[in-house]
Amino acid sequence: MTGTDAPGRARFPRSVFGVGDEPDPRFSLANERTFLAWIRTSLALSAAGVALEALDVPVAGGLRLACAVLLVCLGALAPVQAWWGWAATERAMRCHRPLPSPLLSPLIAVGTLLAGVLLLLGLLLR
């Protein structure tokens, strides 16, 4: 049964569940766990950015603000990666295609590295 849980009931999103065949449930559940890991990452990045400013961490002011803004922005990108990654992977599994590479992961990784460098500089220059 493609795209429905029960007769007459469509699954959301149709762009994912309306194509191909049902994959092994273990693979779909693993894909869902990856989605949830991205959501946890988003919360951690956002919380780190807010904490940098809210707790008045002893880091050079301008660098602290830049790092905090960068972390919050990365935290806003992670759910986008979560959704796109989940949908693309689910569609690929349903259509028996190779799994896609993560779209925003490199950007989030580089941004996290940059935030760490800003924080380190801020600590050294205080």
Q: How far apart are CA 116 and CA 29, in angstroms?
A: 33
**What was the pLDDT predicted at 56?**
82
3-state helix, strand, coil in the chain (%, to 5): 70, 5, 25
pLDDT tens digit string along 91-105?
A: 999 999 999 999 899
Phi, psi of 59 (to 5 degrees): -130, 145
Place of tokens 């693993």: 30
Q: Does residue 104 sit within a domain?
A: yes
**What was the pLDDT predicted at 6?**
56
pLDDT tens digit string along 33-44?
A: 999 999 999 999
Total structural domains within the chain = 1
End-to-end CA distance of the chain: 62
Q: Does residue 78 sit within a domain?
A: yes
Q: Does residue 14 sit within a domain?
A: no
**What was the pLDDT predicted at 10?**
78
Q: How far apart are CA 65 and CA 61, in angstroms?
A: 6
Best mean pLDDT range from 1-5, 54-58, 113-117 = 113-117
State which residues form the domain around 68.
23-124
Q: Does residue 110 sit within a domain?
A: yes
